[in-house]
Amino acid sequence: MSTFLNKNDLKIFKEFENKGYIIKDITNKSVLKEIENIFIKFARKELKIKKKIKSQNLLNNIQKYLPINKLNSFRVKLINHINSSKNVRKFYYLIAKPYLDCLVGNELAMQKRINLSIQIPNDSSSLLPVHSDVWSGDSPFEIVAWLPLVNCYKTKAMYILPPKKYKVFEKKFSKIAKKDSEYVFKKIKKDIKWIDIKFGQILIFNQSLPHGNRVNIENETRWSMNCRFKSIFTPFGDKKIGEFFEPITLRKISELGMNYQLPKLYEKS
């Protein structure tokens, strides 16, 4: 098969295929800073924090100001805030764009609402059990852009089952499919890869692979955003365009082609 892709694209393809994800430095630091500022301003106002604290210190240690019983309401308010903010979705896209263009294409549909995870140390209420998004009806053509707002490592991060390990797991899937998620996790625990990613980097991963998180037993709070992207012209799963996804980079000829109708050869008499 012929390919006109450049060497850098092919290198990223190979890395994504072998690992199930890529982690890359964010080139547009000013856009990332804008997003960070939105979070800091909201947290300070909502939690009435007047003390001068560096942004990363505040986010990493938010558990000192945010009781667990108020965590969910705080997170929901913040999700609504960031999704109603004028430019956050555009900023998010611009951060991920170089790698989305490479892995997905340049005519994209983007998730209408960005998700947010805040995982306070030793909190068991914010867990995402092992799963593959495709198992619950998502399209295998989707990709997830995962943006940390703090350094994430070990249990402060997420885990993913690498592609080679997944192929082995897949052969056993029918035997464990009816078991609960904790049973499944124990079966893959020795094979999972914990993501080590710094603030200032972005993770793009294959959401068809089993992934999830555990209780954060580190000393700092995890903050991470996630959003799905896919090519407009690939099959959609249960999450449809217009309902869950929204076109963001549709090209003019595609728009004209979708609206084109052949002229009528005959008029009804």
pLDDT of residue 165: 97
- Within 10 angstroms of residue 253's Cβ, the number of other Cβ atoms is 8
Task: Provide the CATH number for the domain formed by 10-250 in this structure.
Answer: 2.60.120.10
**Tens of pLDDT along 11-59?**
999 999 999 999 999 999 999 999 999 999 999 999 999 999 999 999 9
Instruction: Give the residue from 93, 85, 82, 35 showing the smallest Cα distance to 247.
Output: 93
Average pLDDT, the chain: 95
The 3-state DSSP composition of the chain as helix, strand, coil percent (nearest 5) reads: 40, 20, 40
Residues 93, 232: Cα–Cα separation, whole Å = 15
Task: State the distance between the two ends of the chain, measured CA to CA, in whole angstroms.
Answer: 52
Q: What is the pTM of this model?
A: 0.94
Q: Token pair for residue 256?
A: 């004209």
Tell me which of 156-165, 213-222, 257-266 is least confident.
257-266
Q: Is 35 helix (H, G, I), strand (E, B) or coil?
A: helix
Residues 166, 180: Cα–Cα separation, whole Å = 18
Residues 175, 158: Cα–Cα separation, whole Å = 25
The answer to whether the CB of 36 falls within 8 A of the CB of 147 is no
Look up tokens 């990613």; give the residue.
197
Instruction: Flag whether pLDDT at 74 surpasses 80.
Output: yes
Per-residue b or e along 92-101, where b marks 16 or more CB atoms closer than 10 Å to that residue's CB: bbebbbbbbe
Q: Token pair for residue 41?
A: 């301003």
**Tens of pLDDT along 115-174?**
999 999 999 988 999 999 999 899 999 999 999 999 999 999 999 999 999 999 999 888
The answer to whether the CB of 228 falls within 8 A of the CB of 111 is yes
Residues 235, 147: Cα–Cα separation, whole Å = 25
Instruction: Flag whether pLDDT at 1 surpasses 70.
Output: no
